[in-house]
Amino acid sequence: MTEVIVVGSPREAGELVAGAILRLVSDRPDAVLGLATGSTPLPVYEALRPHARALARVRGFALDEYVGLPAGHTESYRAVIDREVVGPLGLDPARVRVPGDDIAAESARLGGGPAADELALATAGDRYEQALAAAGGVDLQLLGIGATGHIGFNEPGSSFASLTRVKTLTERTRRDNARFFASPDEVPQHCITQGLGTILRARHLVLLAFGAAKSDAVAGAVEGAVTSSLPASAIQLHPHATVVVDAAAASRLRFLDYYRQAWAHKPAWQQI
Ligand code: PGA
């Protein structure tokens, strides 16, 4: 089953998940991390900062990226990952990929111009999948969850078999993310995101959520029907999924007492 761990604060969640990442990296220094953006994973990155030396050889693959932002925009997920993760944790930038990060190079290879740009975008998902496979797949995938129930930018209706591809953002997601932009109109319509099928291939999924605004999406993901109408419910199909939530995000869970009991009595030898 999906393991649900209710923590006292985002900081505590960050420490817990950072501990799992450090154990992974001590076994395999070049482990592959699936990186998430947004506010939710920040406590994990913060908790990892004192351990940056252990992370020098880690490889990273981001979940998603906007399509259509001007190159170098400060809210592109490439810029966010560089600012929040690569820089503070001392990762090697060459070992960290973001979907679509090779579009300009691929377009140039094809001769440049609008048609080459389009083709490079249309095929970027396939190239990302190839890069993930060549890296041996993701060992631990961090996930946030949107109010729409999205993981990555897989909005409701996303196929459980989907791979990295271009998607249209819902208006709800554009509104939720408008806080990062000067005006809501600046939020792109399109994105390129790992698919639900891509995410399900990761060996360990760690979904974090904080605050009451996420409580419905969390309850649906963990205990609701497995349905593409709530893409995060795909985690129920995964053999090793861990959901780390604060009390507010956990407040709509039906089996909350059981999750708390299981965590309180978890054998010391078992890891998350
Ligand atoms: P948030 O976004 O962490 O900024 O709330 C989560 C998501 O949309 O996946």
pLDDT beyond 90 at 26: yes
Centroid of ligand 1 to alpha carbon of 94 (angstroms): 25
Best residue among 17, 35, 39 to mutate for probing ligand 1's pocket (most ligand atoms within 8 Å of CB) is: 39
Decide whether any atom of ligand 1 lies within 6 Å of the 99 Cβ. Answer: no
Residues 86-120 pLDDT 10s: 999 999 999 999 999 999 999 999 999 999 999 99
The pLDDT confidence band at residue 129, using thresholds 50, 70 and 90, is very high
Q: Which residue has the higher pLDDT, 239 or 270?
A: 239
User: CB-side exposure of 73: number of CA atoms within 13 Å?
Assistant: 16
**C-alpha of residue 200 to centroid of ligand 1, in Å:** 19
Ligand 1 near 40 CB (within 6 A):
yes
Q: Which of 42, 65, 66, 145 to mutate to test the pocket of ligand 1 (most atoms within 8 A of CB)?
A: 145
pLDDT per position as a tens digit, 67-87 = 999 888 999 999 999 999 999
Q: How many helices (H) and strands (E) does the chain have?
A: 12, 10
Q: How many residues does the chain have?
A: 272
152 lines ligand 1 (CB under 6 A): no
pLDDT for position 72 = 86
Q: How far, in Å, is the centroid of ligand 1 from the Cα of 116?
A: 32
Predicted local confidence at residue 71, as pLDDT: 83
144 lines ligand 1 (CB under 6 A): yes
Measured CA to CA, the distance from residue 36 to residue 140 in angstroms comes to 11
**Which domains can be identified in the chain, with CATH numbers?**
3-265 (3.40.50.1360)
Integer angstrom CA distances of residue 205 from 86, 128, 139, 199: 21, 19, 9, 8
Mean pLDDT for 22-27 is: 98
Q: How confident is the model at residue 269 (pLDDT cuts 50, 70, 90)?
A: confident
d(CA 232, CA 212): 17
Which phi and psi angles does 253 have, rounded to 5°?
-80, 130
> What does the mean pLDDT of the chain come to?
97
What pLDDT does 1 receive?
Answer: 77
List pLDDT tens digits, range 49-71.
Answer: 999 999 999 999 999 999 999 88
* Amino acid, res. 76: S
Strands across the sheet containing 241-246: 3-7, 241-246, 205-209, 140-143, 32-35, 59-62, 96-97
Q: Return the pLDDT at 97.
A: 98
pLDDT of res. 271: 87
Q: Which of 56-65, 170-179, 231-240 has the lowest mean pLDDT?
A: 170-179
In 45-164, which ranges are E strands? 59-62, 64-67, 96-97, 140-143
- Global confidence as pTM: 0.96
